[in-house]
Structure 1
Amino acid sequence: MARAAVLVLIVLLAANVWGGRRQLSVRRDAEGQLELVEGWVDGALVTADFNNTINTTGWSFLKIIGPTDVGDDMALAKAAGMAEGAATADLMLMHWKNTLAGFCSKESALCDKVTAFIRANQQFMEESVAKYSESDPFWYQVQLFLAQLEGLVDGYTSTGLEPLTIQQLFLMQISGDLDALQSALSDSGEVGDKVIGAGKCSALVKLLPDHSELFVSHDTWEEYQSMLRIYKLYDLRFSTAGNIAEVVPGHRVSFSSYPGMLLSGDDFYQLSSKLVTTETTFGNSNPALWKYVTPETVFEGIRNVAANRLATSGEEWCRYFSNYNSGTYNNQWMVVDYKLFERGQSSLQDGLLWVLEQLPGKIVMEDQTDMLRTKSYWPSFNIPYYPNIFNESGFAAMEKKYGTWFSWDMSPRAQIFARNHSHVTDMTSMVSLMRYNNFQHDPLSRCNCTPPYSGENAISARSDLNPPDGKYPFGALGHRYHGGTDNKATSSALMEDGSSLGCVATSGPTHRQQPPFQWSTSGYSPKPLGHPDKWEFYPVNLSWDS
């Protein structure tokens, strides 16, 4: 990187140590090298607009905008990474320290296995990119992702902050895969401190009875240390493949994300192809399947980035995503194709909702539009729907051991969704349902526990409110600094033009029926870097055109 660019960014970061707005461009210098400059510049390869409003909204916002025509894809990818790395560097460092800095510190032998696996996987991807990227759209998008990651490192490094290496930032990209990867490589077949039944996310696809609207909404469930959030828009007109000068259908993507991540991780994506893709995680509790986890695969997040860019339909998205199944970060994916939905139309077109479930060595995917026709909703709550996935993942054994809490149709969230989905009449009531947690009074939140209920048994969990000295049959129901850390919701009206990609986004643990979460009174110490103390934030109406 040019020395002038480094100096410019050090000055910029000195003026914006925390909070406020940063605008950056990446252009070519006189020698044709990429350089970072402050502000918006005509003819730039990429422009970035970053606005940190976490203390007022719970979110920061980042726009990465490229040129309107197909150009030098590799330069565009690297420039996009550079702009993001420089603009969000302080949050990247804080998020790393809050979440991953101590990764693998407990078991050095297992950490060595994970590191060796990741290096072998990177070598496999590099070799496959060299062989196939010129003509294979999937591998071409993998190549561009890796170039964007290189740019992210360069942009971050230009600020002069404490170093983060490309290996550390790659670890951030695959953070969702790490639990499964550690289990696959562990001698026991599972991570030693794994919480039994730990949930990650709730989601709902809801059709109004008169077909006047179709909503898609997602709650992230995560450890509270992760709540340093950035909502992002990338508009990067990459080619579909190295020898095809055709813009990818999903060139414009809006997604909830984190500092230093080139993907969502939650996952919730809205695309210019008018697809919305989202998931909830069910994991894998069957050690016999870990033999299918090998380095000759592509980690989950990179596969979903490629599928998001290339697909024009739900079925096509599932086909792309199924390539080189890693068997890690095993999820139920929902893909809604808003091109196939017409408000007020009495019938629904096939292909409107595709649902995919992944395990090591196995993927099942089907058109589930009939579920919307017959029941008007599709719920998702960390339990597999397809019987063979349910059985092979270990859920059947868990249900036999612990009861209906692990059942697809009788678990607490399944029953709450079944009871309450008909209350949804508009966006406000959709968000209200997705932020619902009345666990002390809702009979569906009760458990064989002391006290006889759990903050985990709700659409948006608040496990921090479970007493530390309570008694619970398994770990997920007990006291943890874990719960629903956000909500995102969109509709056909907000997705209509495929440009504004509007949504309603709420950051932080729910406080609709519960008190706001506050670090200083929580008993947790020390407070994670960069976090507001009190998480009492309200829905933000997000439209990228405005």
Structure 2
Amino acid sequence: MSTSSKLLFNLIFLFYFTWIYATLKYDDEFISNKLEEDNFWDNLLNSQKPENKNSNKYYNSVEKLLSLDDPWPKGFFNKSITICADVKSPNIVYKIDGGDITKCKKGQKAVAVGNYRNGQNETGWGILEIETFADFSEEIQSYAAGLAEGLLTKNQIHLHYLNTASQICNNASAGYCDQLHNYIKTNLKWIKSKVNSLAKNDIYWRHVELTFTQLTGINDGYEDINISGDYYPRVEFKNNSILLIQMSGDFYDLEHVFKKNPNLESEPSHCSGFIKITEGNEDLLMSHVSMAGYNTMNRILKLYKFAFDTKKSPGNIVTFSGYPAALSSADDYTLTSAGLLSIETTIAVFNEPLYEKVKENKHLHCWLRSYLANRLSKTARDWVQLFGRYNSGTYNNQWTVLDYKLFKPKQELPQTDLIWILEQIPGLVVSRDVTWFIKSYGYWPSYNIPFLSKISELSGFSAKGQINNWWRWGFTPRAKIFHRDHKKVKDLKTLRELMRYNNYQHDEYSRCKCTPPYSAEASISTRGDLNTPDGKWEVPGMGFRNHGSIDYKGTNFELFKQLRFEVVGGPTYGGPGNLPYFSWALQK
């Protein structure tokens, strides 16, 4: 094992095995209506039914945890690569197979090293580790990091692109695709102009430039048309396959902006997020479940370790659940060396006129703003302030950011700044410190419904919630399940059981005025494929569709200190509901 690999292995992923089948305006406004929302929540708590003490025990059939100090055995990685450059004139970089940084030629040093294992058909996950070295400028490091990733994961990038971004114009109305690509090109032109004028003196725009430099490297590695093995570090702002993969979440809303299809559903994919403080403040756990189309199950766990100035970019090291070629998590679930963990659940925009605020210029898309916020933020408040800049009005989410630095086991929680949330819609971002919430109720839930009144009203959720509790904060099925079962969470095992929970045929909170009278979408981990194809549903999102939970991620204080987390890949199965495994062969 090389020295560089040992450094990488100090920050490792902890994961569980499961089998899956896959091809596969910043407004600095802090809402001060705490009293109103406290009363609302207290009323909700009082209205809940008592816990059923005879409820079924949770199901656990996950294989043994990898808990070795250095869990990757010899030969674990399928591929390793080193990117070398001349120390005196690094205008050209070179690739060599293997992860031994001492193999660079005389006069050269390693700029970056990458290790990759494609475990897609073993665990549901590829595992990628990228590290760069301080002998070279941040620009050279960024390009080399991207190049290594593109070279190592090109096959997975291609499959993921075919399953997702290549289809963005399918079943679209006339003119949609031209409008979309013209919008992207105009936005790239504006970003390039801002980088050219501001990057030298503005750290934010400098890192915008570094991010696009990394993208350029990924694209070069993915295309890999340079037979000589020489690559030229640079930054490009191009509308290509790699950029489209970054924008996967942004397309949820751009489809509405440019009216892709008159029958387009208002609700994008869902996610479940959760934070729990255990009894006596002994531990602090944070988890997330992604829900999406099953065509998105080409997954990669990533570690990026950049040798940048930590005073200027404290989040130089990140671990996250992600996708081939994607720089940001997009789930989202990201741990940073600044002690922060960020997640999000997506917010629908029912108030369609809001999309008129989405413009080609003067904004940065969500994927880029989240990547920058994770890298540049020291605190949770920093994170929401940085992310709120240049709001694109696309991939509108409720973000939750936890500052693990402020947690001390068995000690009183801080009064402020432990947890911040941010909610975004076109034209408006609102953020707020919600530390008080977990101190009062012992947990924080996130389930695709705005918590802040202003966002709820403007997005249309308040009006929709009057029609059906499906869209009502505190009353939607996942809200009720979280409230009923959060006290069962004592450790990582019980955290995982809650987050993978789905007992839709027997849980009272999964029932609906439907035929049949329940929905597999009404649980913490959803399985839309298990709903009856010819059923009758109160809400379209309750029915049969290509949608469900595709993973689980969870961590606690001890794991987080090492930037580690445990994961499960693929749709939930088994459990108290005895759900069947997901299989492509059974899909119609």
TM-score for both structures, normalised by structure 1 = 0.87
Residue type of the alignment partner of 2:178: D
- Which structure has more RCO (C-alpha within 8 Å, separation ≥ 6)? 2
Distance 2:278 2:476 in 1: 24
Q: What is the SS of the residue equivalent to 1:350?
A: coil
Residues 311 and 440 (structure 1), Cα distance of their counterparts in 2 relative to 1, 3 Å cut: same
Counterpart position of 1:34: 93
Residue type of the alignment partner of 1:155: G
- Where do residues 147-186 of structure 1 align in structure 2 (5 Å cutoff)? 147-158=213-224, 167-186=240-259
Shift of 1:474: 2.3
Aligned residues with identical type, % of pairs: 36
Q: What is the SS of the residue equivalent to 2:485?
A: helix
Distance 1:230 1:193 in 2: 32
Q: 2:380 aligns with which of 314, 317, 329?
A: 314
Distance 1:283 1:45 in 2: 42
Counterpart position of 1:374: 440
Counterpart position of 1:506: 568
- Where do residues 1-400 of structure 1 align in structure 2 (5 Å cutoff)? 21-28=78-85, 32=90, 33-40=92-99, 41-42=101-102, 43-67=109-133, 69=134, 71-105=136-170, 106-158=172-224, 167-186=240-259, 191-239=261-309, 246-296=311-361, 297-400=363-466
Shift of 1:479: 0.6
Residue type of the alignment partner of 2:315: G
Distance 2:550 2:305 in 1: 26
Shift of 1:179: 1.9
Q: Residue by residue, what CA displacement relative to the aligned partner does 1:218-243 show, whole Å, maximum 9, x if unpaired? A: 00001000001000000012347xxx
Distance 2:82 2:239 in 1: 22
Residues 484 and 35 (structure 1), Cα distance of their counterparts in 2 relative to 1, 3 Å cut: same
Counterpart position of 2:29: none
Distance 1:438 1:196 in 2: 26
Q: What is the SS of the residue equivalent to 2:560?
A: coil
Does 2:514 correspond to 1:449? yes
Question: 1:436, 1:512 within 8 Å by CA — same for their partners in 2?
Answer: no
Q: What is the SS of the residue equivalent to 1:101?
A: helix
Query: Once structures 1 and 2 are overlaid, which stretch shifts more, 351-360 or 133-142?
Result: 133-142
Query: Once structures 1 and 2 are overlaid, which stretch shifts more, 360-369 or 31-40?
Result: 31-40
Question: 1:196, 1:474 within 8 Å by CA — same for their partners in 2?
Answer: no
**Structure 1 residues not aligned, in runs of 5+:** 1-17, 241-245, 524-546
Counterpart position of 1:465: 530
Residue type of the alignment partner of 2:484: R
Shift of 1:247: 5.0
Shift of 1:97: 0.7
Question: 1:199, 1:282 within 8 Å by CA — same for their partners in 2?
Answer: no
Shift of 1:491: 1.1
Residue type of the alignment partner of 1:49: N
CA RMSD of aligned residues (A): 1.9
Distance 2:574 2:221 in 1: 40
Residue type of the alignment partner of 1:407: R
Distance 1:20 1:44 in 2: 19
Question: 1:357, 1:384 within 8 Å by CA — same for their partners in 2?
Answer: yes
Residue type of the alignment partner of 1:251: N
Q: What is the SS of the residue equivalent to 1:80?
A: helix
**Structure 2 residues not aligned, in runs of 5+:** 1-23, 25-75, 103-108, 228-237
Distance 1:156 1:199 in 2: 28
Question: 1:197, 1:475 within 8 Å by CA — same for their partners in 2?
Answer: no
Q: What is the SS of the residue equivalent to 2:343?
A: strand
Shift of 1:522: 2.3
Q: Residue by residue, what CA displacement relative to the aligned partner does 1:324-376 show, whole Å, maximum 9, x if unpaired? A: 00010000000100110000003434100001101111111111000011001
Distance 2:262 2:564 in 1: 41
Distance 1:263 1:229 in 2: 13
Counterpart position of 1:415: 480
Q: Residue by residue, what CA displacement relative to the aligned partner does 1:408-442 show, whole Å, maximum 9, x if unpaired? A: 01000000000000100111000110000000000
Distance 2:145 2:250 in 1: 24
Distance 2:164 2:355 in 1: 25
Question: 1:439, 1:445 within 8 Å by CA — same for their partners in 2?
Answer: yes
Residues 159 and 342 (structure 1), Cα distance of their counterparts in 2 relative to 1, 3 Å cut: farther
Distance 2:500 2:360 in 1: 39
Distance 2:164 2:342 in 1: 25
Distance 2:367 2:514 in 1: 36
Counterpart position of 1:531: none
Shift of 1:160: 8.7
How many residue pairs were aligned?
490
Query: Once structures 1 and 2 are overlaid, which stretch shifts more, 222-231 or 34-43?
Result: 34-43
Question: 1:153, 1:166 within 8 Å by CA — same for their partners in 2?
Answer: no
Counterpart position of 1:543: none
Residue type of the alignment partner of 1:22: K
Q: What is the SS of the residue equivalent to 2:483?
A: helix
Distance 1:393 1:284 in 2: 5
Distance 1:183 1:522 in 2: 28
Shift of 1:195: 2.7
Distance 1:347 1:150 in 2: 43
Does 2:577 correspond to 1:515? no
Distance 1:21 1:199 in 2: 33
Q: What is the SS of the residue equivalent to 2:285?
A: strand
Shift of 1:290: 1.2
Q: What is the SS of the residue equivalent to 1:358?
A: strand
Residue type of the alignment partner of 2:242: L
- Where do residues 535-546 of structure 1 align in structure 2 (5 Å cutoff)? none
Q: Residue by residue, what CA displacement relative to the aligned partner does 1:306-328 show, whole Å, maximum 9, x if unpaired? A: 11111000111111101100010
Distance 1:166 1:185 in 2: 18
Shift of 1:473: 2.2
Shift of 1:266: 0.6
Residue type of the alignment partner of 1:38: D
